[in-house]
């Protein structure tokens, strides 16, 4: 039985137990801790890739389909801060985060099945076409709201489970898992799954590629969330003295005032992080939503007219233009995802650990994994002596992204467009990593009592049998090893004058309000999507007032109708509206870089 932890200086919360992560190596623990993100990213990929053509096939108009996708930012705006605040106050014996992850995943799974088999269910129940559409749209909203709950809990779990010094590594691994989920999703989606294991698909009632992907996404999400939930042990928040089990202290209505107060009265540095994220996401919005279409449009504007008379043109090339645009864009995004993944693996070794000077960490060399080849290890070791801090890296990544996007209006070939999309994978890797690492670090510093958190936390990492030589890899001067071993990561905080090796002390990563602050960060991530949508609408209305924007390669309209939109893209004498949006994104990325630069002066 774990003793109650000391009361937090920040919130008056008391906990019992210590955060633990299974695994015999630090890499294994970080992988297991972030594995749920692979399932989340894969599920999002399936939804974004297949749901638009599916809704069009059900008879929904394109204009109304665009309204359906308000579900994404709307659910993020509502669910992530709300679930984060509710989880912060949860006194469940299973922890504060994992119950939300599991329940949310179950809701996502059943909503995916309902979406994939809406037509069959409608035929069975005798629904009208409108009723079938309502059920399909409702399923998409349920998926978006539930998956955002899972993401909120997963991100908070990383912050709760790691010390201040490990937040950067934890966020880097989260970025790697997200990129890996994208790569896996694009690769599996490129396969003709219905021809694989036909007996299994027939037994499951699967009839097409979309339903195959639904099944794979469901198994992947449940499997990844299940493994993370099994591998991680959370501290349990103790009920306040005199509190009753049935009281509504953690109800949605009770957390809203807390959420509002925290949003209005953010600590200065967290406010700076949020504003840097806000401007950064306005810059990223047109790229994330329109880059695939832009690559295909570039081909039809400049490359396709030059080869129109070529004997290599196939009937598919002429009559399935939107399909070609989708495939060309997918190739660019596959390369983008691979570069993002590679960058998320390499870049953390080139960035200094947080509070390196305060903790004297610079005298320790962060060694790359032994699995890397000799020359690569040598290069990384040499670069380690010139490591910038994470905020500087974030600022540089914004400038790099701005420099890349500035060239979008001048692109005149498919290869150039693909190159621009691919190169953006490097700054995107930093954008998926830096904000969460920085805000996680601030949350943990506040939870540890403010400035004294800069004193190294004594965190046990690894097995009880780890010797001093092995600890050198993990900054032995600032670590001590838990005495009960067993291949479990245990986070134990101790003051320098403490010698009792008691595991029930307050963890270095308290994170009492990690859910609230991550929810606030998500507000600053979703609001730019509404701003970006409005800006893009203005640009499209001015530059392409008579042309409809293609929603996806799977438009169910006729060939001539689909290709009429593509014919409008062949006007090389007029600016490409998406290119203009990307250029505006570059300007916002410069503003984000300035906001990040100012963050360095906030203490």
Confidence of residue 104 (pLDDT cuts 50, 70, 90): very high
> Is 150's pLDDT higher than 70?
yes
Confidence of residue 473 (pLDDT cuts 50, 70, 90): very low
pLDDT at residue 242 in the model: 55
> Is 187's pLDDT higher than 80?
no
* Domain assignment present for 487: no
Place of tokens 């493994």: 227
Contacts of 337 (CB under 8 A, 6+ apart): 179, 182, 183, 186, 425
> Is 559's pLDDT higher than 90?
no
Report the percentage of the chain scoring pLDDT > 90: 22
* Domain assignment present for 221: yes
> Is 360's pLDDT higher than 60?
no
> Residue length, the chain?
603
The separation between CA 496 and the C-alpha centre of its own chain, rounded to angstroms, equals 37
* Domain assignment present for 331: yes
Of 22-31, 43-52, 71-80, 498-507, which gets the smallest average pLDDT?
498-507
Q: Where are the alpha helices (DSSP H) in 126-251?
A: 129-161, 167-189, 198-204, 209-231
Q: Say how many domains are in the chain.
A: 1
Output the six-digit token pair for 467. Answer: 């010797």
The boundaries of the domain holding residue 591 are 15-231+257-307+319-445+512-599
Q: Are the C-beta atoms of residues 41 and 185 closer than 8 Å to each other?
A: yes
pLDDT at residue 372 in the model: 61
Following DSSP, what letter does each residue of 338-361 receive, concatenated? HHHHHHHHHGGGGSPPTTTTTTTG
pLDDT at residue 582 in the model: 93
**pTM (two decimals):** 0.65
Of 66-80, 466-480, 581-595, which gets the smallest average pLDDT?
466-480
* Domain assignment present for 65: yes
Q: What is residue 11's DSSP assignment?
A: T
Mean per-residue pLDDT of the chain: 74
∠ at Cα 245 (241, 249), nearest 5°?
Answer: 75
* Domain assignment present for 525: yes
Contacts of 308 (CB under 8 A, 6+ apart): none
Q: In angstroms, rounded to a whole number, what is the distance separating the alpha carbons of residues 587 and 596?
A: 14
Which has the higher per-residue pLDDT, 367 or 450? 367
Instruction: Please provide residue 299's backbone torsions phi and psi, each rounded to the nearest 5 degrees.
Output: -60, -45
* Domain assignment present for 273: yes
pLDDT at residue 195 in the model: 82
* Domain assignment present for 475: no
* Domain assignment present for 455: no
The shares of helix, strand and coil residues in the chain, as percent rounded to the nearest 5, are: 65, 0, 30
> Is 26's pLDDT higher than 80?
yes
pLDDT at residue 106 in the model: 96
Confidence of residue 113 (pLDDT cuts 50, 70, 90): very high
Which has the higher per-residue pLDDT, 57 or 490? 57
pLDDT at residue 264 in the model: 81
Average pLDDT, integer, range 300-308 = 64
The per-residue pLDDT for range 420-459, each reduced to its tens digit, is 999 999 999 999 888 988 888 888 777 655 443 433 333 3
Number of Cβ atoms within 10 Å of the Cβ of 474: 18
CATH number assigned to the domain comprising residue 19? 1.20.1250.20
């Amino acid at each position: 039985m774990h003793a109650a932890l000391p009361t937090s200086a920040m919130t008056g919360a008391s906990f019992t137990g210590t955060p633990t992560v299974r695994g015999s190596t630090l890499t294994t623990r970080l992988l297991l801790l972030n594995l749920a993100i692979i399932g989340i990213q894969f599920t999002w990929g399936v939804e974004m890739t297949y749901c638009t053509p599916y809704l069009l096939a059900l008879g929904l108009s394109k204009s109304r389909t665009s309204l359906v996708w308000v579900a994404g930012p709307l659910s993020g705006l509502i669910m992530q801060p709300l679930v984060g605040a509710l989880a912060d106050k949860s006194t469940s014996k299973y922890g504060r985060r994992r119950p939300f992850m599991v329940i949310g995943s179950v809701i996502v799974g059943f909503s995916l099945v309902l979406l994939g088999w809406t037509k069959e269910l409608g035929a069975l129940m005798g629904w009208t076409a409108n009723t079938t559409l309502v059920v399909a749209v409702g399923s998409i909203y349920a998926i978006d709201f539930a998956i955002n709950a899972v993401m909120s809990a997963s991100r908070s779990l990383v912050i709760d489970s790691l010390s201040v010094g490990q937040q950067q590594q934890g966020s880097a691994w989260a970025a790697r898992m997200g990129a890996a989920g994208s790569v896996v999703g694009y690769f599996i989606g490129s396969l003709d799954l219905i021809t694989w294991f036909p007996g299994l698909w027939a037994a499951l009632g699967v009839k097409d590629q979309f339903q195959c992907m639904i099944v794979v996404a469901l198994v992947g999400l449940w499997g990844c969330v299940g493994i993370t939930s099994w591998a991680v042990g959370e501290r349990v928040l103790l009920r306040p003295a005199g509190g009753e089990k049935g009281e509504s202290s953690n109800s949605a209505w009770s957390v809203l005032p807390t959420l509002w107060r925290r949003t209005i009265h953010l600590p200065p540095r967290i406010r700076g992080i949020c504003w840097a994220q806000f401007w950064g996401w306005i810059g990223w919005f047109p790229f994330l939503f329109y880059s695939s279409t832009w690559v295909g449009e570039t081909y039809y504007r400049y490359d396709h007219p030059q080869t129109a008379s070529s004997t290599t043109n196939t009937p598919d090339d002429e009559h399935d233009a939107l399909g070609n645009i989708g495939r060309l864009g997918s190739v660019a995004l596959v390369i983008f995802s691979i570069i993002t993944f590679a960058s998320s693996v390499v870049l953390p070794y080139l960035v200094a650990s947080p509070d390196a000077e305060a903790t004297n960490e610079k005298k320790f060399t962060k060694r790359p994994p032994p699995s890397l080849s000799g020359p690569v290890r040598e290069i990384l070791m040499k670069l380690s002596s010139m490591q910038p801090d994470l905020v500087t890296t974030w600022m540089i990544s914004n400038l790099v992204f701005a420099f890349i996007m500035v060239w979008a209006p001048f692109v005149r070939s498919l290869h150039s467009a693909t190159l621009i999309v691919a190169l953006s994978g490097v700054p995107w890797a930093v954008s998926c990593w830096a904000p969460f690492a920085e805000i996680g670090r601030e949350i943990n510093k506040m939870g540890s009592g403010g400035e004294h958190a800069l004193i190294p936390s004594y965190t046990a990492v690894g097995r009880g049998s780890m010797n001093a030589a092995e600890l050198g890899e993990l900054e032995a001067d600032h670590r001590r090893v838990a005495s009960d071993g067993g291949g479990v990561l245990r986070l134990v905080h101790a003051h320098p004058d403490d010698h009792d090796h008691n595991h029930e002390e307050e963890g270095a990563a308290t994170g009492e309000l990690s859910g609230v602050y991550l929810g606030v960060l998500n507000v600053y991530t979703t609001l730019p999507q509404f701003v970006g949508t409005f800006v893009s609408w203005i640009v499209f209305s001015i530059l392409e007032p008579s042309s409809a924007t293609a929603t996806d390669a799977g438009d169910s309209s006729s060939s001539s109708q689909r290709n009429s939109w593509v014919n409008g893209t062949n006007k090389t004498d007029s600016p490409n509206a998406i290119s203009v949006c990307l250029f505006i994104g570059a300007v916002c990325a410069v503003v984000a870089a300035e906001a990040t630069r100012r963050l360095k002066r906030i203490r």
